Amino acid sequence: MSRLYLDANASEPLRPEARTAAAAALDVAGNPSSVHAEGRAARRLLEEARESVAALAGLAPAAVVFTSGGTEANATALAGCAAEGRRVLAGATEHDSVLRAIPAAERIPVDRDGVIDLAALATALADPRPAAVAVMLANNETGTLQPIAEVAALCRRAAARLHVDAVQAPGRLPLGDLGALGADTVALSAHKAGGPKGAGALLLASGWWPGPLLRGGGQERGMRAGTEPLPAIAGFAAALAAAEAWRAAGGAARLRALRDAILAGLAVRVPHAVPIAMGASRLANTLCLALPGVAAATQVMALDLAGIAVSAGSACSSGKVAESHVLRAMGLGPLAGSAIRVSLPWTAPEEAPRRFLDAYAAMAARLVRPVEPAPA
């Protein structure tokens, strides 16, 4: 039986358009910074990618700075905020690349569905010292969408900068809205959109430039040193365009139907499983699911043995599964240690719900000990 990959929020499978664009760019010998014909050909490819990403986000090409991925885009924006002497306020469920970029960041609490507490943010912003706020568009573990328009309004009123991590948006939310979120900066990552790993972008949506994280050559007009990884960038631009076209043509709606079929099946077959963040608007492809009493790592391994790839918390480089800071911040208590993330990729087959439900129900029957009736 073929494998069933349900870990799109860790990495989307490569889109064919991205493969074609990246492969073509591999054969471009020139360095985009060189002035000869080969260099100019490479530069042309780079600027075409920039124009494409900018147009998709509703921004001018000059607003796109290519990076190595979402982590670097987040780090660049937040380092710039800190360099301006601003206090950094970050949602408690932000990705580690945000929370660890500025360890002193003040964490703004979220509710049980992972939605940021706007009153707490407003209180934190009432402090007259200049501030910067980092709030993600969609959470990678739960899929919870944040009320960015409200966050942006609060930031505007307090003259605070706003950075939005939109890494999980492509293919799921309209990209044309990114430039109009009301953010100063927005982070994107190629491999979350079905592009190659190793590229991303920081979108300068308000014209503010946070300053370079990496210094050296004058690439990216001095905003990010280092020879641009042309194959990854060309693949990134092609993936974003393909992801947006796929979403607009009903791709995300199809994934929502598959995801909801899993939810409906669970209610019947494993009623003691607990879906997380059900009260929030969520990404169409994402389901966070706790099986009380069974460690998340055990579930991931059991499903892996059954041919299904899911994850526990966010994938971390060491391969270890630590309890999720996201679910802890949501006040889920012990459930936080028993939750897995099911995230359907753009390639998800129609039989994904049935195969997942069969494997999950079998696992639950094996691993969940029946509750002994209390002695009479």
**DSSP code of 159?**
T
The minimum distance between CB 23 and ligand PLP, in angstroms, equals 21
Among 48-56, 63-71, 145-153, 275-283, the segment contacting ligand PLP (CB under 6 A): 63-71
Which residues, numbered 297-336, are part of the site for ligand PLP (CB under 6 A)? Answer: 314
Determine if 97 is a binding residue for ligand PLP (CB under 6 A). yes
d(CA 196, CA 189): 9
d(CA 356, CA 269): 12
> Which residues does residue 239 pair with via DSSP β-bridges, in sequence order?
none
Which residues, numbered 170-189, are part of the site for ligand PLP (CB under 6 A)? Answer: 189
Q: Which amino acid is at 352?
A: A
Choosing from 140, 146, 299, 324, the residue that interacts with ligand PLP (CB under 6 A) is 140
How many Å separate Cα 300 from the centre of its chain? 20
Report whether 195 contacts 62 (CB < 8 A). Answer: no
Determine if 71 is a binding residue for ligand PLP (CB under 6 A). yes
Burial letters 350-360, b for 16+ CB under 10 A, else e: eebbebbbebb
Contacts of 153 (CB under 8 A, 6+ apart): 182
Measured CA angle at 17 (ends 281, 53), to 5 deg: 60
Determine if 70 is a binding residue for ligand PLP (CB under 6 A). yes
Among 64-72, 213-221, 343-351, 355-363, the segment contacting ligand PLP (CB under 6 A): 64-72
Task: Name the helix (H) or strand (E) containing 78.
Answer: helix 70-83
Determine if 196 is a binding residue for ligand PLP (CB under 6 A). no
The minimum distance between CB 184 and ligand PLP, in angstroms, equals 17
Which residues, numbered 335-364, are part of the site for ligand PLP (CB under 6 A)? Answer: none
The minimum distance between CB 335 and ligand PLP, in angstroms, equals 21
Q: Is 165 left (phi over 0), alpha (psi -120 to 50) or beta?
A: beta
d(CA 57, CA 36): 31
Output 230 or 363, the one with its CB closest to ligand PLP.
230
Q: Is 81 in the active site?
A: no
Output 189 or 219, the one with its CB closest to ligand PLP.
189
Determine if 110 is a binding residue for ligand PLP (CB under 6 A). no
Determine if 136 is a binding residue for ligand PLP (CB under 6 A). yes
Determine if 163 is a binding residue for ligand PLP (CB under 6 A). no
**DSSP code of 110?**
B
d(CA 140, CA 326): 9
The minimum distance between CB 157 and ligand PLP, in angstroms, equals 26
The minimum distance between CB 215 and ligand PLP, in angstroms, equals 20
Determine if 54 is a binding residue for ligand PLP (CB under 6 A). no
Contacts of 220 (CB under 8 A, 6+ apart): 65, 66, 228
Q: Any idea which residues carry the catalytic annotation? A: 316
Q: Which parts of this chain interact with ligand PLP (CB under 6 A)?
A: 69-71, 74, 95, 97, 136, 140, 165, 167-168, 189, 200, 314
